[in-house]
Chains A and B, each alone.
Chain A
C-alpha cells in the first residue's frame, strides 16, 4: 500500500464573517486532507460552507482560526504576494461563470498563467495548443470567449487551470451554468485527466453529476463536516 502525501490540509479551521457588527460562523472545526490524485467533492446545500472552504484551501482567503497547509506549508504565514505566487505555481482554478479574460483568445487565456510564470512564448504557445486539443477544442485557439458556447468556455477554463501544471485544481460549481450533456462531457474530461495525468481535483458542488463521479464526497452542513463518503485517490 502506498502512502498518499497530502497536498492540501485544513487543520482545525474556523471561519467567521462580521457584517455590521453581526458575526456569522461560516465554518467550524474543519479537518480535511486532500492527497495527490484525488477526485473529491465538497458537497452540501447552499450556505453549508463549501465555497468558503474551497476559497480557504485555494489561498484566496485566510481562516479565522486553524491552518491551511499547501504541501506542508502553512499559508497563514505568507504575505499576499507570496500567496499570489503559491496560487500561480501550485493551484489551478475553475470558476462557475468560466471567467475567461474576454479580450484574450482561447489560446491567450490558456497562455496567461504560463506568461505570468515566465514560460517562453514558443513553449507556452505549443502547450496552449496541446491543452486545447486535450479538451477537444483544437482549431478554436483564436476564438474569443464571447464567440464560444458555455461548454467550450468552461473547457478553455479547464485547459487554463491545467496550463500552470498545478498541484491541484479547485473547481467551484464548474457545471452550474452548463446543460447536463455539456456538464457530463466536461466531467468525463476531468475524470480522464485525473486518471491519465493524476491531476488532483477538489470540487465544490451540489450537482449530482459531479457527486456521482467524485470518488470522495465531503458533506458539509452548517459549516461543519457532516459525513465523508467514498475513498480517496484513484
Chain B
C-alpha cells in the first residue's frame, strides 16, 4: 500500500466514533437510495405493466388522429401482411386488434354509460391481462356471439349476474342507432375503479357487426417482450407503415397522464433523495474538515519534512473516498440483498385499506414490488462518491495550502 493510501486509511480510523457516525449515515443513505429507487422502479413498472395490459399495450397502432378524437371515425385495418409482420417480429410478444367505442348498457331499470371494447378472445390473451381478471363466469370465447364481460362494479350497479341479459345501445359507424341484447358471460375484477365500473368487453366480430364497422378496427394493441423497447419498436413500426393509414404510438403517447404521473413521482423521489444526499455530503464535509483542522500542525510538519502540498491534497481526498467507500460498500451489502428479497417476495398490503385504496387509485393491485436494476446501485454509488469528492474539495485545498512555517510558528 502506498504511503498516501496508508496515511489516509489510518487517519480515517483515527477518530473511530466520528468515522463510525459518518459511515453509518452513508450506509443509511446508500441503502435508502437503492431501496427507494428499487421500490419506485418496481412499483411503476407494475403500474405501467398493469396499465398497458389493461389498456392499449406497450405500443398501439391506430388510424391517423385516433388519439386526438378517439371515435369510430378514426379507424385502421389489420390486414394479413401486417398481421404476419407483427407475428414475426421477435420484439413483439403478442398483438390484438380492438374496436373501441362508447355506449349505454341497460338492465331493466338501470342504465350506465360504458366503454365498449371489441376484442379477439384468442389474440387478446397474448396482450392483455383482462382475461385473467375474471372473478366469476368466463372470458369471451371464439365462435360464441352476443356475449359480454363486465367490470365487477358495473355488474353490481346494473344488478346483473352470469347468464343475465343486458341491452347495449350506441350509435354505429353508419350513424344509425345500434342496439342489441348481450348475455353476461363473465364478471371481472379490475384494480382501476374507473374501468371496473365502466368497461364492457364484447367479441371483435360482434363489435364490428354491432357498430356496422366492416373489418375496420380502432387499434392494434401490442405487447413487447422488453418494456424498455416500447419507444424503439413504435419508431421502427411507425417508419415502415404508411402514415396516411396507420400510426404507431408508444404507451406514453397513449396514456400521457400516466407518463406524466411517473415523471412527477420520480421527480418527487429524486428531490427527497437529493436532500438525503446533501445530508450525507454535510456529514462527510464535517468529518473531513474537522480531521483537517485537527491535523493542521501535522500537515505543517510533513510539509517541512518534504511531503509535497499536492500529496496532502491527495491524502485528504483519499480519506474522503475511503470514508464514502466504506459506507458505500456496507450500504450496498445491506440494500442489495434486501431489494432482491423484496423482488422475490412482493409484499401484499393487507392491513391498510387506505393504502390499498391508494394503489387502486392508480389502477394497480395493492402489492409492494421492488425491482433491482443495475443502474440504481451504480448511480447511487456514483452519486455518493461524487458527493464525497465535492465535500472533500474545500478541506483538501485548505490542508494543502498550509505553509510549514505558519504552522511551526504557531507551535
Q: Which chain A residues have a beta carbon within 8 Å of chain B's beta carbons?
A: 51, 55, 58, 60-61, 80-81, 84-85, 87-89, 93, 95-97, 99, 101-104, 112-113, 115-117, 160, 164, 172
Contacts and interface: CB of A to CB of B under 8 A. Distances in A.
A52 to B, nearest CB: 8
Contact of A112 (B3, B309, B409): B3
Which interface class (under 10, 10 to 19, 20 to 34, 35 or more) fits B? Answer: 20 to 34
Chain B CB within 10 Å, residue with most, of A60, A93, A112, A117? A60
B3 A60 contact: no
Contacts of B108: none
Contacts of B36: none
Contacts, number: 66
Given A61-B405, A103-B11, A103-B14, A96 B304 contact: no
B175 interface: no
B305 A80 contact: no
B305 A113 contact: yes
21 contacts: A58-B304, A60-B405, A61-B403, A80-B309, A81-B308, A84-B307, A84-B309, A85-B306, A87-B306, A89-B306, A93-B305, A95-B301, A95-B408, A95-B411, A99-B298, A99-B411, A102-B298, A104-B7, A115-B3, A116-B3, A116-B307
Contact of B304 (A87, A102, A103, A115): A87
B408 to A, nearest CB: 6
Contacts of B238: none
Contacts of B411: 95-97, 99
* Among A95, A99, A116, residue most surrounded by chain B Cβ atoms (within 10 Å): A99
B21 interface: no
A97 B408 CA distance: 10
Nearest to A101: B298
Nearest to B307: A116
Contact of A60 (B10, B309, B404): B404
Contacts of B409: 51, 55
A220 to B, nearest CB: 16
A141 to B, nearest CB: 16
Given A55-B408, A55-B409, A95-B301, A84 B306 contact: yes
Interface string B1-31: 0010001001100100000000000000000
Given A103-B7, A103-B10, A112-B3, A60 B306 contact: no
Contacts of A93: 301, 304-305
A102 B14 contact: yes
B294 to A, nearest CB: 10
A84 B309 CA distance: 9
A97 B296 CA distance: 14
B361 interface: no
A80 B308 CA distance: 9
A91 to B, nearest CB: 8
Contacts of B298: 99, 101-102
A138 B67 CA distance: 88
Q: Which of B403, B404, B408 has the most CB of A within 10 A?
A: B408
Contacts of B408: 51, 55, 60, 95, 172
Interface in B259-280: none
B302 interface: yes
Contacts of B114: none
A60 B302 contact: no
Given A99-B301, A103-B7, A116-B306, 17 more contacts: A51-B409, A55-B405, A55-B408, A60-B408, A84-B307, A84-B309, A87-B305, A93-B301, A93-B304, A96-B411, A99-B297, A101-B7, A101-B298, A103-B11, A103-B14, A112-B3, A116-B3
B303 interface: yes
A150 B408 CA distance: 19
B404 to A, nearest CB: 5
A224 to B, nearest CB: 20
Contacts of A117: 306
Nearest to A96: B411
A84 B304 CA distance: 7
A88 B297 contact: no
A113 B306 contact: yes
Nearest to A90: B306
A88 B305 contact: yes
B10 A104 contact: yes
A95 B96 CA distance: 85
A116 B301 contact: no
A61 B404 CA distance: 8
Contacts of A103: 7, 10-11, 14
In the complex, which of the residues A115, A116, A160 has the most CB atoms of chain B within 10 Å of its own CB atom? A116
